[in-house]
Each structure stands twice: as structure tokens, then as C-alpha cells.
Amino acid sequence: MANSMLALVIALAVLGHAVQAADYNYSKVLELSLLFYEAQRSGKLPEDNRIPWRGDSALDDRGQRGEDLTGGYYDAGDFVKFGFTMASTTTLLAWGYLSYKDAYESAGQAKYGLAAIKWAADYFIKCHVSPMELYGQVGDFTLDHKFWGRPEDLNMSRPAYKIDVQHPGSDLAGETAAALAAVSLVFKGVDNDYSAKCLQHAKQLYSFANQYRGLYHEAIKGAAQFYESTDYGDELTWAAAWLYKATGESQYLDEAEHHYMKFRLKERPNEFFYNKKVAGVQILLAQLTKQPEYMDAAQAFCDFTVDYQKRTPKGLVYIDKYGTLCHAANVAFVCLQAADVGISPKKYQDFARQQINYMLGDGGHSYVVGFGKNYPKQPHHAASSCPLQPASCGWEEFYRQGPNKQILYGALVSGPDENDHYRDVREEYVYNEVTLDYNAGFQSAVAGLRHFQLQEINYNKT
């Protein structure tokens, strides 16, 4: 009996090992995703730029009083710099880095992970031109979308839009506060002055968000069509919770809990993305307080997602046709966070691995540019569609059939439809859009999966 049990255990261990070996190289995927962010950089590039087809661009980006707004990231395949999603991207990247630093380190990517986060934070600090004034967009979508080409060749006017006391935006200011609070934690012990600077901006931005309530797209009108925010209660709570995590000051926890009640955030959401952060709020509060109310909410969201959310025939969670994979990666990431507080760890880790592995090849091919089998060759991305300079680049590259001229390593495309059907065609942005926001939860989930692999390796050693 004992012997056969032992044999079974060994057989299972061997089987487990074989399954492990067939896994994708998450370290490689982390490395590539960071290259995608590097390709999205705006402004003056540093000497160590690793993207050979990118150079300095948009060096004249200025605020309404001439403030320097160079830097930051282009939002997608176009060239608007868009504060709301750049901030939510940064919060998710910072959360993943904080939780799974060992994954970045073991992949040799810690330096690049920090650089990717700092590139955004530096820009938010520039945009925060006075305590209650924050630029939230540079570039006009209509003007920008008349252009297809390289960012280095941009020559249209790029107006800058802001929120202030008369035109508040609690969502934008709140999300930027959350991002900078998370970044301050990332840089604690790495660069303490920078960490303190980020925290100070985060506190001011949260006060602004909290004192002057409003929706940012009423101040920045062009944003409504692209990145609407339908509520700001989630961002206010999110910002206060992140500030509590960064400072340990109970006043922020009190405010987070107050907002949570007032804005009725305990209801189970259906998704987790830039316009609906409730699931992230619930899980972060569960981590910070271990209170049953938040633990139960976190479990309700993840159990719903794993057990009842709509799926494609091949098992991808299907929440929306725009950013199908981003939605799945985001829920994979927050449920890994729920696993970290001890809620159904095995169930949520298996779920996250299944979702991410679908994106890396289990769904029939890879949805990450430059990785694995049959990856997307025509992402909807102007800069990478261009030939190398000095050849000209314009709309002919948009309409040209065939792969983009440059490989946009690491970009996760929008993804398949509800039947796992996908078309790799540049014009079809429903399938092939790439954005800052699509990669963020994905990169952090991949770091999480690598973290659990490393834990398992260490456990097996002891």
C-alpha cells in the first residue's frame, strides 16, 4: 500500500514535471513585453534605446503655458499621449513588479521593468504642473488619425488638454495618484528621493481628485469617444487604498472604506479594466485589511470569472470584443493577486496559467508579436509598419498587404472573437489593435506565473 502510494506520488511528480517542461518561457515573454513599452516611448530617447527603428519624436509637446510635456508613451498604434490609460497601465505594471520582483530579477529584466515604470512616472510628474492642475492628453485624435507614419515624422499640431479646479476629473487625477503611489513603493530602497517625490505628487493628486469631483472627459472632451470613464468612485477608492499601502497612514484606509461604501463598490463586477477597477479595489483592500467583506468580494469575483464567465470554445474567458485578450489577462492577474492572499490559490493559478498559455500558443497560435508559433505579423501600429528611414512612410503602408516592416516585439494584440476566430490584418483593429493598456495586466500576470514557477523550483530543492 505504502509503496503503491509512493509510486503514485512519483508518477504524479513526473507527470507534473512533464507538464511544466511544456510551459512557455515566461521570462522571454516578460523581456518582449518590456520591448513593446520601449517601442512606444515618446520624447527624447536615451542612449541605451534598444529599438533600432525608433528615434526622438514629439519634442515640441507643450502645455497651454508652454510647460514641457515631452516624454511618456504613445497610446497605441497612433500618437496621442493619453493620461488615463497610461496611468492605469502604470499602476498595473507597478503592482505586478512589486508582487513578483523575483520574476523580473531571475529573467534579468529588473532594470528594464523599473525603466518602463519610471518612463511613465516622469511624464506624470511633468503633467502635474501645479497641485490642482494635471494634463491628461497631448495630441488631438482627429488630427492624429489623419496621419499614418513614423512618430519621428509627426508634424501636425499637438494640443494639450488638462483638468483643473474649474474642470475637474476625479477619475484621471485619482488613477494618476494611484499610479504614483504604486511607483513610489517600487522605488523605495532603489531611489528613495524619487520614491518620495512620486508619493508627494500622489498625495496632492488624490486631494485634488477628492476635493473637486468630476469626470475627466467633460473637461477633455475628445477623450469620451476613445477612453470614456463612466464613474470616478472606483478611482477615488483605488487611489486612497494605494496611498494607504504606500504610507501606512490610517486616514487613507478610512477614506478608501468610506468611498467603497458610498459608491457601492461591493457589488460583483463583470470585468477588470481601465474603466472599471472595482475588482482590483476589492482585491487590494482584501490584501491590505484581510477583512471578510473584501475577502468575500474578491472570491466572489474570481469564482464567477473562473466558473461562470462566458468562454470561447477553446476556453478563453470572453468579456468584450475589444481587447478580448487584455480582459482575460487582467482577470488572470487580479485573481493571481487574490491567490496571493490565500483565496483558492491553486484554482486561480491554474486559471491564470490556462488563460495566459492560450495567448502564448494554446489557442492555436501566439497572439504576442515576435513570440512563438505563427504570431501576428500585421499589428495595427503605424510606426512598425514603416520601412527604415530615410524611405518615406505613409498611408500606402497601412493598405499594403504583408507583414509590418518592423517587428513590434512583445505587443499583445486585441485578440480573437467569441469563437476563437482571428484575422491577422492591419486594418482590422478589432483583432489587431495594440495598446499600452492591453499589455499591462498581461505582463504582470506573466510575471506572476513565473514567480509561482520559481517558488515551486525552490520548494522542490528543499
Ligand X SMILES: *[C@@H]1O[C@H](CO)[C@@H](O)[C@H](O)[C@H]1NC(C)=O
C-beta of 30: minimal distance to ligand X in Å? 8
Looking up cell 502564448, which residue turns up?
Answer: 360
28 touching ligand X, by CB under 6 A: yes
25 touching ligand X, by CB under 6 A: yes
Residue among 3, 4, 142, 155 that touches ligand X (CB under 6 A): 155
Q: Annotate 410-457 with DSSP letters as a single string.
A: TPBP----TTS-----TT-HHHHB--HHHHHHHHHHHHHHHHHHHHHH
Q: Answer yes or no: are the C-beta atoms of 79 and 144 closer than 8 Å.
A: yes
Please identify, using beta-carbon distances, which residue of 115 and 341 lies nearer to ligand X.
115
Binding mask 58-97 for ligand X (x = CB under 6 A): ----------------------------------------
Stretch that binds ligand X, among 27-35, 159-167, 309-317, 356-364 (CB under 6 A): 27-35
Stretch that binds ligand X, among 21-29, 48-56, 308-316, 374-382 (CB under 6 A): 21-29
Q: Is 47 a catalytic residue?
A: no
C-beta of 27: minimal distance to ligand X in Å? 5
C-beta of 406: minimal distance to ligand X in Å? 20
Identify the active-site residue in 133, 235, 257, 433: 433
Number of residues that bind ligand X (CB under 6 A): 5
Helices in 290-406 by DSSP H: which ranges? 292-307, 324-340, 345-357, 382-385, 395-399
Identify the active-site residue in 424, 427, 428, 437: 424
| DSSP symbol at 360 | I
Distance between CA atoms of residues 397 and 375, nearest Å: 20
E strands present in 113-236: 133-138, 160-164
Residue among 31, 271, 397, 433 that touches ligand X (CB under 6 A): 31
With CA atoms as reference, report the closest residue to 84 among 264, 255, 224. 224
Q: Answer yes or no: are the C-beta atoms of 196 and 203 closer than 8 Å.
A: no
Stretch that binds ligand X, among 26-34, 127-135, 266-274, 426-434 (CB under 6 A): 26-34
Q: Answer yes or no: are the C-beta atoms of 79 and 58 closer than 8 Å.
A: yes
Q: Is 254 a catalytic residue?
A: no
Q: Answer yes or no: are the C-beta atoms of 153 and 393 closer than 8 Å.
A: yes
C-beta of 109: minimal distance to ligand X in Å? 9
158 touching ligand X, by CB under 6 A: no
State how far the alpha carbon of 203 is from the alpha carbons of 175, 192, 242, 259, 307, in Å. 12, 16, 10, 16, 39
Residues classed as catalytic: 424, 433
The residues of the shown chain that bind ligand X, judged by CB under 6 A, are 25, 27-28, 31, 155
